[in-house]
Amino acid sequence: MILDLNKKVSEEIVETPIVQQTSYWSALKQQQGYQTFAFDFSVDAASISADRNGTIEGDLLMILQPIGDGYHIAYVPYGPELEPDEDYQGLFLESLSEALRELLPPSCILIRYDLVWESPWARQSDRYDSQNQWMGPPERQHQEIRLNINTKNWNIHKSWSDILPSHTIFVDLDKSEDALLSNMKPKTRYNVRLSQRKGVTVRTVGPEELEVWYQLYQETAQRNGIFVDDLSYFKSVLTTDVSETASPAAIHLLLAEVEGRPLAAMFLAQSNERATYLYGASSSQSRNYMAPYALQWNAMQLARKLGCTEYDMFGVSPRNEPQHPLYGLYRFKSGFGGEMHHRLGCWDYPLNNEVYNAIVAVEMNGQGYHLNK
């Protein structure tokens, strides 16, 4: 495969709907103390697709993650965006990884790709049950066989856990508001209208009201038993300004309230023509006001006004499975009438097999090793 790769400054990352692959995300991670890299690449089209000719160009953002003892992981959040035909995906990742090897510090022991590419098993009818529920991919071994087809080194491994959500729901915003409401499930549409009748209002707020967000967020985290990020992190999310770069992202903090009483809040990211629901929180009190429904509906309306054509719900269980920890999000988000998308998730290309095997042993034992998003 003919693939050329060159470093560039992150301010030159090209515009993309994937907010985690923008200049904004690079600047945000740098504020958190991480080192980031950006790369341009070009590849012979015939080597990634049977139906394309010429040369295809792309780029990617990479975050260098320290893991102790002087070692690092090169993490690619939702990248690369360029998606080869299925039979060429493994060879493309292998060629890209070997080219990156020469440009990464010696302390880097693996490249971890958080792939947005659609899972090939999501397109197979025999992976769906009688209720048309996706049964997921096969065992890791079979996944690895499929992705390593046509590779030279057979060195691409499925990670033991995904970092960013690998299953999401996309809502098509290129419709009228009446059509969007009609596409919702009846219960969701009823709750949206109920919130309006109960007087829930939604407004966009600035950094001066981050404390309001954070109180709702802490309450949500305690209720669901999830890890709590510092207030400083959310301040960085909202205030990082890269408006002069090639791929800025706009971040909006929306607050739903009744008579000045906060009930729910969320961060909405706008990148290119996609709006992404990044973070959400809600009060345990006054749940009958259905404030989260008002919040999502207003976020969609705002996204349409900003010129977005799609809305990424960002993280659900892969199917209607009450036992899954993300089932509550699935039940809530699927009501807004979007389509499920199953990503391939995290895949590793080891650069130092000895250290990589030690990392895998830790992850297999479930000792809580996770990369920051």
Higher pLDDT, 9 or 362: 9
Q: Which residues pair with 171 in a beta bridge?
A: 311
Percent of the chain clearing pLDDT 70 (strictly above)? 98
Residue 359 confidence class, pLDDT cut points 50, 70, 90: confident
- Cα distance between residue 156 and residue 92, in whole Å: 11
> Does the pLDDT value for residue 53 go beyond 90?
no
Can you give the pLDDT at residue 360? 85
Can you give the pLDDT at residue 369? 34
Higher pLDDT, 362 or 65: 65
Residue 50 confidence class, pLDDT cut points 50, 70, 90: confident
Percent of the chain clearing pLDDT 90 (strictly above)? 88
Structure tokens at 88: 């060429």
| Average pLDDT rounded to a whole number, residues 344-350 | 97
Residue type, 115: L
Distance of CA 241 to the CA centre of its chain: 20
Can you give the pLDDT at residue 121? 96
Half-sphere CA count of 311, side-chain side, radius 13 A: 26
Per-residue model confidence as pLDDT tens digits over 262-304: 999 999 999 999 999 999 999 999 999 999 999 999 999 999 9
**Mean pLDDT estimate for the chain:** 94
φ/ψ (deg, to 5) at 53 = -130, 170
Phi-psi region at 339: left, alpha or beta (left = phi > 0; alpha = psi -120 to 50): beta
Cis preceding-peptide flag for 186 (omega within 30 of 0)? no
Q: Is the dihedral of CA 258, 259, 263, 265 positive or negative?
A: positive
- Cα distance between residue 22 and residue 241, in whole Å: 12
3-state secondary structure of 162: coil
> Does the pLDDT value for residue 370 go beyond 60?
no
Give the DSSP per-residue string, 303-326: HHHTT--EEE-----SSS-TTSTT
Can you give the pLDDT at residue 64? 97
- Cα distance between residue 156 and residue 93, in whole Å: 8
Residues near 264 by beta carbon (within 8 Å), at least 6 away in sequence: 216, 255, 256, 280, 281, 282, 283, 291, 292, 294, 295
Give the DSSP per-residue string, 163-217: SS-SEEEEEE-SS-HHHHHHHS-HHHHHHHHHHHHTT-EEEEE-GGGHHHHHHHH
- Cα distance between residue 349 and residue 115, in whole Å: 13
Residues near 276 by beta carbon (within 8 Å), at least 6 away in sequence: 19, 268, 269, 270, 311, 312, 314
Residues of the chain with CATH 3.40.630.30: 3-166+343-364, 174-308
Can you give the pLDDT at residue 122? 95
Structure tokens at 291: 């404030």
> Does the pLDDT value for residue 221 go beyond 60?
yes
Structure tokens at 345: 């998730």
Residue 224 confidence class, pLDDT cut points 50, 70, 90: confident
Q: Could you tell me the CA-to-CA distances from 75 to 44, 109, 150, 180 in Å, in that order? A: 25, 11, 24, 36
Q: Which residues pair with 37 in a beta bridge?
A: 62
> Does the pLDDT value for residue 189 go beyond 60?
yes
Distance spanning both ends of the chain, measured CA to CA: 31
Can you give the pLDDT at residue 373? 39
Distance of CA 93 to the CA centre of its chain: 19
Residue 368 confidence class, pLDDT cut points 50, 70, 90: very low
* Superfamily per CATH, domain 3-166+343-364: Gcn5-related N-acetyltransferase (GNAT) (3.40.630.30)
> Does the pLDDT value for residue 362 go beyond 90?
no
Residue 366 confidence class, pLDDT cut points 50, 70, 90: low
Pure H helices in the chain: 23-31, 89-101, 140-148, 177-183, 186-197, 210-224, 231-239, 291-305, 327-333, 353-364
- Find out whether 236 and 31 touch, Cβ atoms under 8 Å: yes
Look up the CATH number of domain 174-308: 3.40.630.30
Find where tokens 């929306």 sit: 254
Can you give the pLDDT at residue 361? 83
Per-residue model confidence as pLDDT tens digits over 58-114: 999 999 999 988 999 999 999 999 999 999 999 999 999 999 999 999 999 999 999
Strand ranges inside 35-87, DSSP E: 35-44, 55-68, 71-76
Residue 127: name the closest of 155, 148, 146 by CA: 146
| Average pLDDT rounded to a whole number, residues 27-48 | 95
Residue 217 confidence class, pLDDT cut points 50, 70, 90: very high
